[in-house]
Each structure stands twice: as structure tokens, then as C-alpha cells.
Amino acid sequence: MRMLITGCKGQLGNELRRLLETGTAEIGPIPEELRDTEATFIDVEQLDITDSAAVDAYFAEHEFDVVINCAAMTNVDGCEQVEDTAYRVNAIGPENLARAAASQGAKFIQVSTDYVFPGNEPGERVESDPTGPISAYGRSKLAGEQLSQAANPRTFVVRTAWLYGYVGRNFVKTMLRLARELGAMTVVDDQLGNPTSANDLAYELLKLSLTDDYGVYHCTNEGTTSWAQFTRAIVAGAGYDPDIVTPCTSDEYAAAHPAAARRPLFSALKNEHLAQTIGNEMRPWQDALADYLRNLPQLEG
């Protein structure tokens, strides 16, 4: 299999590289059919996915069977300030890649987000639930879903949430730094979702790439929690007193950070389509976090 992975310097791109190079994820071995994959890893320095001519020229010189797009503008607050840029990266870029992949008959995997939902109803969202993003980031990612599917009938849209990996910046690393440097933190406790290991997500993306079950998928670690409870688990797992975490409400956080984007209150996802097709092997979020904290000293980058 010839595979292109964009955004290779990010959290998910690095985990896909790790799995393909080692042949295994924390969940278990990757499928045998992927052991001889010819993977090409690129980032913006090699290809600006927002430039349609550049994308077309790149694909004219390379052929792929699968394209996994991990490139994105993921700074949720930053997207509010430059929504046009977020749209180019998160919507036009995926459309360009999906169209180019379609010209070669290649499958396309677009990674999306729980923030495509408004989050105004309790419970877990399934793939068929109505979308309605309340942030620039969510709007740009929803547009990326729609444009990708319109450009390539062989498209998988895979929504994930609260992602953390070994390489790059993420919420877990930030909370560990605050625990170490400040010894205390205040974290929102009324937004509920699914913390998700990039290593686990990469495993399921690779499994999906072998199928023809195109469509929208949810792929998060199992279980719902709040940001504050997630933080308590992070600091406790690292040996700190979880009581250093002070909960607050979204309204209190917004008052203290008026430039911050609105986040959905209820954005937990249910991996329904995954379970109906390749099987849902995503672990409880607590188990994935425990492995992450144990491996982080050796794998952090």
C-alpha cells in the first residue's frame, strides 16, 4: 500500500509514523496487510495543502492508494481571530487533497472533531446527529468534512476529541507543566467529552484504511468526563495531589478569558459506526491515559 500522511509533525501524524515503523500500537499489532506500507510523510514545508495548484502538481508526480490528512489549524481560540485562515486550512486544504486523491482512485481519510456539534444536549452524539458548530474552529472543520466527501466518494470522515499525543503540545502536557511549576490550576468542570490517545486513534485509522466502508465515524477513547476531572486524573497519575485542581464553570472561565472561543458543553461521542464495521477497539480513556503517562518520559517530543 502506498500511503500519504499530511501534517506529519503533529500529534497524530507522529503516532501514525510510530505505528507504521514499529508495527504495533498500544492497543496491539497493526494489521499484517500494512506491514509493507510505503508511507510518505509530509508537512507544510513540503506541501501547502491550501494551494490547489501545488496539490495537483504534487499528485501528478506521486501516486497513492490512501491519503490521511492530519494537517489542521487546531488552535480553537486562534481560529476565532482568523476564521478565513482556519477555513483555508481546515476546509479548502482537505478538499484539495480529497479531489487529488480521487483523481487517482485513492481513499481519503479526513480527521475531524467533536466541535462540529453545538453541545447543547446531554449524552453522547452519534454520527447521524445534527451538527451545528458554535466556534470558528468547528465551522471550518465541518466545512472540511462536507467538501471532502463531495470531492471524493472514497472518503472517511473520522471525528475525534480531546486528543493528546507524545509529540507536540496538548492539554495533558500543559496540565503537567502547571502542576510542576505552579502547583495549582483552575479548570472548567461543566464541559463533558472523551479524552483520546493519538496512539489509539492512529491504530483505528490504519484499520479503516483497509476497508471500503466509507462515511462518517466517531473515534474516541471510551468514557465521558469533564476537563476538570480529566485534569485530576492527569495530575494524580503523575504523583501530584488531585486537590490542586479547582473546578470552575464555563461562564466563570469566559469572564476571565473574554477572547476565548465558546466550547460545547456536551460533546461526548459514541463510536457507533466503528462498532458496526471494523469493531470498536478504543480503550477506556483511563487506561489510555495510564499508558501515556507511563511512556511519556521516554517518548516525549
Catalytic positions are 137
What is the full DSSP assignment across the chain? -EEEEESTTSHHHHHHHHHHHHSB-SS-BPPGGGTT-EEEEE-TTT--TT-HHHHHHHHHH---SEEEE------HHHHHH-HHHHHIIIIIHHHHHHHHHHHTT-EEEEEEEGGGS---SSSPBPTTSPP---SHHHHHHHHHHHHHHHH-SSEEEEEE-SEE-SSS--HHHHHHHHHHHTS-EEEE-S-EE--EEHHHHHHHHHHHTT----EEEE---B--EEHHHHHHHHHHHTTS-GGGEEEE-HHHHHHH-TTSPP--SB--B--HHHHHTT---PPBHHHHHHHHHHHHHHH--
